[in-house]
């Protein structure tokens, strides 16, 4: 039972990060019908901004601000930096191709992905960047927390999971309860009709990129709190975020959240109960199974075309 | 039409491969026959990871290699220039082959330091051998490079540090000495960690220690679920990674899940700036060289050239490798009466080199049975609460 609880906790931690990444894929796909393959690299940039912000705040051994402020500030810095990066990517890599055949922005997305990853490697080196959160308060983030049975739920996991769910809740409020959210839903439903109703489509698209990229930045920091990051980490993590979006139903916000969690649990249970050797393989087999048997994902609707 | 097209493609392929083989033979012949004057500047190539997860290792080695060239080459009457080739571990062995060809093509390269990692030795040793280039590694420890029926390296490969056939059993015996009853061994599905884990596991099992083997793809970044599989009764997690950041990561995650097992990293995780969870262990092929009084001047000189840098374990073997290479080059120059007529003359002399009072302690010489050092051993360090490494075995 303890193993099950621990694996569930592992899956929840990983899944909540995947969910934040998947939301970025879904927001952009929902509005532009574009698979933004550079999204994983925006996540990576978020991890690097967080690392840089920690150094600016004095490092983890002797930070110049309290621990809670350090965590909030590095997350906000990553969200702001990634939001700006999202705007730049949309403006220069996707907007000029908005009316081009759908393959063109897809190729552009791959190009942007490699450009960002290798530019970061050139600028900051290929060495892994470790936030060294273990040094914050003498390792208290790892040793403090509460227990479920014999399983420790450490503070660092609580911070990751709670922060991710709070952000997802606010995103849900924004999309369902605000005017801009309504504009996003209208644009997603029918872009031309929304334009005729007076919605500024360009602004809505830019807003979707801002929102998705900011979430990727936050996901980057939450991920890198526990795990060292490096310039090419975005590809695989981004691919998993994309898988989560497909499993949940790409374009669906609740779907992205559910898909992220499903993927996190699947990866964790596969490693725990099936094989540590084949866990990535099993995750991508899950993607293939969904694409073959339920391409619309858990929450998506089948695309019915009238002839 | 289709058949004619296929015939044309086949003919082009045959002609192309004929050209390719001629070109290859030409360059090898050139390497053998063009004499290089020892009065001019000779080059030593150095191939190691200078960037990436193992970049710390290559940079430390480079600082010592530069210092050795600067201080030792004039003593042998040689003008040596060190040229480098970066092989980040993340890029796999293909890059090592490219760099090997670059060194081979330069007729003034008369010896090579490295490759620093075992995978890259296996990938490039054939090419170096064909070109007659001695390659002396300061850190490649995989057993199968020099031993066994199917050796991965050629007779032109030498190493100044002992292989995993010593490291694995040394680590295992240390864990047993510390009272280990239950050990979890990781491997990263690549030859370095698989070989090392295999070697340690054999000794542990033979001494009645319960072992569990976990295999992890080296793309995995979060070890949480693997840590979950570590039994609460485990005393050690043997974690032979080439990325010290990963050793730090798993040590943190063991603490996070309340597991008491200590992490035991191999030589690849020996980096005090990245792996610093107190109570963990690392092994290394080099001791703390400051323990040998005759090294005092060398250490002081190196520190003067590298202000603020800490004395690590990967650098001194690079110094020794340069020393061996310079000795062999000097002997080849003497044989050729002021020139190296064939780069193989350097290879022939490496094996004969004896270094009195070597930087690693005692006299250094190669074994007569293999191109490994004679009587070498591994050293074990424990990470202290201030993050420093203390020699404990």
In a domain, A300, yes or no: no
In a domain, A203, yes or no: yes
Residue B256 and residue A152: Cβ atoms within 8 Å? yes
Band of residue B10 on the pLDDT scale cut at 50, 70, 90:
very low
- Predicted confidence at residue B203, as pLDDT, reads 94
Residue A121 has pLDDT above 50, yes or no: yes
Distance between CA atoms of residues A258 and A18, nearest Å: 10
- Predicted confidence at residue B220, as pLDDT, reads 79
Distance between CA atoms of residues B113 and B93, nearest Å: 16
- Predicted confidence at residue A302, as pLDDT, reads 64
Q: How far is A232 from chain B (nearest CA, A)?
A: 10
* CATH code of the domain covering residue A283: 1.10.3470
- Predicted confidence at residue A307, as pLDDT, reads 55
Q: Is A122 on the interface with B (CB under 8 A)?
A: no
Enclosing H/E stretch for B46: strand B41-48
Each residue of B361-387: pLDDT tens digit? Answer: 889 999 988 899 997 788 899 999 888
Closest CB from B51, B189, B222 relative to A127? B51
Q: Is B377 on the interface with A (CB under 8 A)?
A: no
Considering the four listed CATH numbers 3.90.550.10, 3.40.50.2300, 3.40.920.10, 3.20.20.150, the one that applies to the domain covering B165-284+380-391 is 3.40.50.2300
Q: Is A224 on the interface with B (CB under 8 A)?
A: no
- Predicted confidence at residue A305, as pLDDT, reads 55
Distance between CA atoms of residues B36 and B287, nearest Å: 37
Q: Which residue of A has its CA nearest to B88?
A: A126
Distance between CA atoms of residues B56 and B49, nearest Å: 8
Residue B18 has pLDDT above 50, yes or no: no
Tokens of A61: 């051994």
- Predicted confidence at residue A173, as pLDDT, reads 93
Q: Rg (Cα) of chain A, in Å, rounded? A: 19
pLDDT > 70: percent of chain B = 91
- Predicted confidence at residue A244, as pLDDT, reads 92
- Predicted confidence at residue B149, as pLDDT, reads 79
More reliable by pLDDT, B15 or B354 = B354
Query: What is residue B137's three-state secondary structure?
Result: strand
Closest CB from A126, A151, A227 relative to B52? A126
Distance between CA atoms of residues B204 and B199, nearest Å: 9
The count of domains in chain A is: 1
Q: How far is A172 from chain B (nearest CA, A)?
A: 28
Q: Is B215 on the interface with A (CB under 8 A)?
A: yes
Burial of residue B336 (number of CB atoms within 10 Å: 0-12, 13-18, 19+): middle
Mean predicted confidence (pLDDT) in B297-319:
89
What integer best gives the mean pLDDT of chain B?
86
Q: How far is B272 from chain A (nearest CA, A)?
A: 13
Helix H, strand E, coil C: the string for A156-199 is: HHHHHHHHHHHHHHHHHHHHHHCHHHHHHHHHHHCHHHHHHCCC
In a domain, A35, yes or no: yes
Q: Which of A19-23, A256-260, B265-269, B280-284 has the lowest mean pLDDT?
A: B265-269
Tokens of A90: 């949309």
The phi and psi torsions of A273 (rounded to 5 degrees) equal -110, -25
The reply to whether B34-163+293-362 and B165-284+380-391 are identical in fold is yes
Each residue of B71-129: pLDDT tens digit? Answer: 999 999 999 999 999 998 777 788 999 999 999 999 999 999 989 998 899 999 999 99
Each residue of B211-246: pLDDT tens digit? Answer: 999 888 777 788 888 888 898 899 999 998 878 888
Query: What is residue A291's three-state secondary structure?
Result: helix
Nearest Cα residue to A76 out of A58, A54, A91 = A54
Tokens of A69: 């402020």
- Predicted confidence at residue B30, as pLDDT, reads 42
Residue B229 and residue A276: Cβ atoms within 8 Å? yes
Q: Is B374 on the interface with A (CB under 8 A)?
A: no
Enclosing H/E stretch for A103: helix A103-124
Q: How far is A265 from chain B (nearest CA, A)?
A: 10
Q: Is B269 on the interface with A (CB under 8 A)?
A: no
Q: Which residues from chain B sit within 8 angstroms of residue A157, using beta carbons?
A: 256
Residue A123 has pLDDT above 50, yes or no: yes
pTM given for the model: 0.74
Residue B215 and residue A276: Cβ atoms within 8 Å? yes
Enclosing H/E stretch for B36: strand B36-37
Distance between CA atoms of residues B129 and B189, nearest Å: 28
In a domain, A305, yes or no: no
In a domain, A258, yes or no: yes
Nearest Cα residue to A116 out of A70, A49, A171, A193 = A49
Residue A228 and residue B55: Cβ atoms within 8 Å? no
Q: Is B142 on the interface with A (CB under 8 A)?
A: no
Each residue of B237-249: pLDDT tens digit? Answer: 999 887 888 888 8
Q: Which residues from chain B sit within 8 angstroms of residue A125, using beta carbons?
A: 51, 55
Residue B177 has pLDDT above 70, yes or no: yes
Tokens of B228: 């979950």
Closest CB from B56, B215, B255 relative to A142? B255
Q: Which residue of B has its CA nearest to A273?
A: B229
More reliable by pLDDT, B56 or A89 = A89
Query: What is residue B43's three-state secondary structure?
Result: strand
In a domain, A19, yes or no: yes
- Predicted confidence at residue A304, as pLDDT, reads 58
- B212, β-bridge pairs: B184
Distance between CA atoms of residues B99 and B115, nearest Å: 10
B34-163+293-362 CATH? 3.40.50.2300
In a domain, A301, yes or no: no
- Predicted confidence at residue B286, as pLDDT, reads 75
Q: Which of B185, B247, B252 should one mutate to test binding to chain A, selecting the residue with the greatest count of A CBs within 10 A? A: B252
Q: Which of A24-33, B17-26, B242-251 has the lowest mean pLDDT?
A: B17-26
Residue A143 and residue B255: Cβ atoms within 8 Å? yes
Distance between CA atoms of residues B268 and B162, nearest Å: 14
Q: How far is B53 from chain A (nearest CA, A)?
A: 5
pLDDT > 90: percent of chain A = 57
Enclosing H/E stretch for B184: strand B182-187
Helices (H), chain B: 2-33, 55-72, 94-105, 118-130, 164-177, 191-206, 224-228, 244-256, 296-305, 315-335, 344-350
Q: Where are the domains of chain B?
A: 34-163+293-362, 165-284+380-391
Query: What is residue B386's three-state secondary structure?
Result: coil
ipTM of the complex in this document: 0.74
CA B59 to chain centre: 13
Mean predicted confidence (pLDDT) in B270-290:
84
Q: Is A7 on the interface with B (CB under 8 A)?
A: yes
């Amino acid at each position: 039972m303890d193993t099950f609880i621990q694996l569930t906790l592992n899956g929840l931690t990983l899944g909540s990060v995947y969910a934040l990444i998947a939301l970025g894929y879904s927001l952009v796909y929902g509005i532009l019908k574009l698979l933004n393959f550079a999204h994983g690299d925006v996540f990576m940039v978020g991890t690097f901004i967080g690392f840089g912000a920690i150094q600016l705040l004095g490092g983890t051994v002797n930070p110049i601000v309290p621990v809670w402020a350090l965590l909030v500030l590095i997350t906000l810095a990553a969200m702001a930096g990634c939001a700006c990066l999202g705007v730049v990517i949309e403006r220069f890599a996707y907007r000029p191709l908005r009316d081009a055949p759908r393959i063109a922005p897809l190729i552009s997305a791959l190009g942007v992905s490699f450009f960002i990853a290798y530019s970061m490697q050139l600028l900051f080196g290929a060495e892994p960047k470790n936030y060294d959160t273990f040094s914050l308060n003498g390792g208290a983030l790892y040793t403090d927390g509460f227990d479920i049975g014999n399983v420790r739920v450490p503070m660092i996991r609580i911070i990751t999971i709670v922060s991710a769910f709070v952000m997802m809740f606010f995103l849900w409020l924004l999309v369902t309860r605000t005017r801009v959210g309504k504009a996003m839903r209208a644009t997603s439903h029918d872009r031309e009709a929304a334009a005729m109703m007076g919605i500024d489509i360009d602004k809505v698209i830019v807003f979707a990129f801002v929102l998705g990229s900011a979430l990727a930045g936050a996901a980057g920091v939450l991920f890198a709190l526990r795990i060292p990051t490096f310039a090419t980490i975005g590809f695989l993590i981004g691919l998993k975020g994309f898988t989560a979006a497909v499993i949940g139903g790409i374009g669906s916000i609740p779907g992205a959240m559910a898909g992220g969690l499903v993927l996190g649990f699947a990866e964790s249970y596969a490693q725990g109960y099936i094989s540590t050797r084949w866990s990535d393989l099993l995750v991508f087999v899950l993607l293939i199974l969904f694409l073959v048997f339920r391409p619309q994902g858990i929450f998506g609707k089948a695309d019915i075309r009238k002839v | 039409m289709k058949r004619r097209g296929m015939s044309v493609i086949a003919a082009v392929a045959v002609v192309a491969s004929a050209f390719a083989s001629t070109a290859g033979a030409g360059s090898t012949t050139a390497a053998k026959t063009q004499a290089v004057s020892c009065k001019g500047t000779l080059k030593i190539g150095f191939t190691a990871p200078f960037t990436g997860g193992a970049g710390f290792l290559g940079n430390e080695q480079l600082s010592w290699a530069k210092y050795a060239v600067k201080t030792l080459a004039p003593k042998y009457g040689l003008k040596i220039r060190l040229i480098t080739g970066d092989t980040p571990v993340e890029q796999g062995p293909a890059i090592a082959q490219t760099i090997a060809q670059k060194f081979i093509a330069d007729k003034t390269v008369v010896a090579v330091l490295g490759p620093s990692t075992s995978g890259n030795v296996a990938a490039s040793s054939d090419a170096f051998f064909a070109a007659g280039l001695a390659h002396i590694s300061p850190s490649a420890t995989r057993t199968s490079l020099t031993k066994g029926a199917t050796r991965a390296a050629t007779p032109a490969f030498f190493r100044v540090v002992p292989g995993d056939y010593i490291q694995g059993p040394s680590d295992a015996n240390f864990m047993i000495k510390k009272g280990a009853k239950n050990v979890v061994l990781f491997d990263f599905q690549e030859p370095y960690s698989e070989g090392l884990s295999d070697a340690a596991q054999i000794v542990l099992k033979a001494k009645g220690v319960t072992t569990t083997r976990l295999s992890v793809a080296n793309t995995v970044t979060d070890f949480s679920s693997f840590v979950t599989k570590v039994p609460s009764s485990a005393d050690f997690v043997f974690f032979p990674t080439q990325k010290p950041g990963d050793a730090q990561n798993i040590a943190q995650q063991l603490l996070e899940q309340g597991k008491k097992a200590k992490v035991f990293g191999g030589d690849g995780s020996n980096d005090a700036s990245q792996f610093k969870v107190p109570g963990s262990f690392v092994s290394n092929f080099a001791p703390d060289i400051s323990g040998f009084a005759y090294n005092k001047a060398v250490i002081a000189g190196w520190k003067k050239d590298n202000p603020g840098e800490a004395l690590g374990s990967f650098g001194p073997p690079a110094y020794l490798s340069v020393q061996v290479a310079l000795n062999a080059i000097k002997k080849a120059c003497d044989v050729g009466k002021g020139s190296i007529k064939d780069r193989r003359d350097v290879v022939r002399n490496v094996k004969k080199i004896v270094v009195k009072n070597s930087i690693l302690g005692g006299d250094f010489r190669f074994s007569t049975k293999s191109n490994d050092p004679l009587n070498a051993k591994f050293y074990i360090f424990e990470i202290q609460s201030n993050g420093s490494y203390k020699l404990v075995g």
